[in-house]
Amino acid sequence: MNSFYYIRYSLVLEAMIYLDRFIDYLNYERNYSSKTVKAYRNDIEQFFQDMCFNSEECSLKELNVYNVRSWMVSLMDQGYSTASVKRKLSSLRVFSRYLLKIGEIKSDKLKLVEGPKSGKNLPEFIQAKDMDKLLEGEFFEKNFEGFRDKLMIDMFYSTGIRLAELVGLNDSDVDLVSRQIKVLGKGNKERVIPFGSSLADSICEYLKERNTSIENRSGAFFIRSNGLRVYRNLVYKSVQSSLSTISTLVKCSPHVLRHSFATNMLNNGADLQVIKEILGHTSLSATEVYTHTTFKELKKVYNQAHPRA
């Protein structure tokens, strides 16, 4: 091994010693999950191996801003996604803060490094007329599973709830008198969502068929033929199968129905703050993405309708 590669190899070993201590810190002091710790290790090992064998400057105590930026560019050139590069940078930043904490470096230079910018994809949604076609047509069998699958579609679209929230619904969460459902959202936060007469009719149809067809039932609202609660994959496949009959979207998922709920509410004059509360978003910025979707739709209509568009 010539002197150049020997020096580089020694520097990698030095970095790995500190990396092992860092991993112990994540495991035993920060109690990170094994999956997260593994990701940190892989990202940091990759950085030091790439940097120490391709850069003239290579020192653990000099996490060079230029080297980090150059590494990010090389990753993008290799086809890594923006999200992956940003995650790898995040791993390096945490490692740099650890080295500062234990006194191995004098300043955290990586806080000066910005990750690559990523444009947000606008959420896809299904037009109201297509949803009406699905829910008012003859797409579902007139049996227990047919009524159940139709109601799941209707509830996603009429309330904007998440997949996990729908699966977790119990009979006690659905109030037909007050026309509202209680859901347990992210962070175990409860919220109450109102619904209209159309969904109420669908709920009554389903409950009548369910209670007649299935004798031994759990307390779950949406159940299988054996009386037990539905599971995520069953719901996902049911929604995907139903939506594919009226939509050409590549991904026909429950989340598309959530997007459709929010977008069509906004298109019909609903206040953004109200939509935020119904969706269970913690900040308004998460809801504001639907304003871009609406503008995109308005622009499309304008370009089609105006003679001088």
* Domains, in order of start, for the chain: 3-112 (1.10.150.130), 128-305 (1.10.443.10)
> Is 162 in the active site?
yes
- 191 CB-near residues (< 8 Å, 6+ apart): 182, 183, 185, 277, 278, 280
- Please give the full DSSP string across 124-158, using - where no structure is assigned: P---HHHHHHHHHSS-S-SSHHHHHHHHHHHHHHH
Vertex 229 angle, CA 254 and 177, to 5°: 80
Of the residues 148, 258, 259, 276, only one is catalytic, namely 258
> Is 292 in the active site?
no
pLDDT at 307: 62
> Is 28 in the active site?
no
Torsion angles phi and psi, residue 228, rounded to 5: -90, 160
Q: Which residues pair with 184 in a beta bridge?
A: 190
Strand (E) positions, 68-205? 174-175, 180-184, 190-194
Here the tokens at position 61 are 């105590």
pLDDT at 110: 83
- 1 CB-near residues (< 8 Å, 6+ apart): 9
Mean pLDDT, the chain, whole residue set:
84
The alpha carbon of residue 189 and the mean position of all alpha carbons in its chain are separated, in whole angstroms, by: 17
Helix (H, G, I), strand (E, B) or coil at 97: helix
> Is 290 in the active site?
yes
pLDDT at 65: 74
Here the tokens at position 145 are 């599973």
**Predicted structure pTM score:** 0.61
pLDDT at 7: 39
Here the tokens at position 150 are 């139709």
pLDDT at 3: 37
Per-residue pLDDT of the chain (309 residues; tens, 9 = 90+): 433 333 344 555 566 678 888 899 999 988 888 889 999 999 988 887 777 655 555 555 556 677 788 888 888 878 888 888 889 999 989 988 898 888 888 888 788 788 877 666 667 888 888 999 999 988 999 999 999 999 999 999 999 999 999 999 999 999 999 999 999 988 788 999 999 999 999 999 999 999 999 989 989 999 999 999 999 999 999 999 999 898 877 788 999 999 999 988 888 888 888 999 999 988 887 888 777 666 666 666 566 655 664
Of the residues 21, 30, 142, 186, only one is catalytic, namely 186
pLDDT at 212: 94
- The burial class, CB within 10 Å (0-12 / 13-18 / 19+), for 250 is exposed
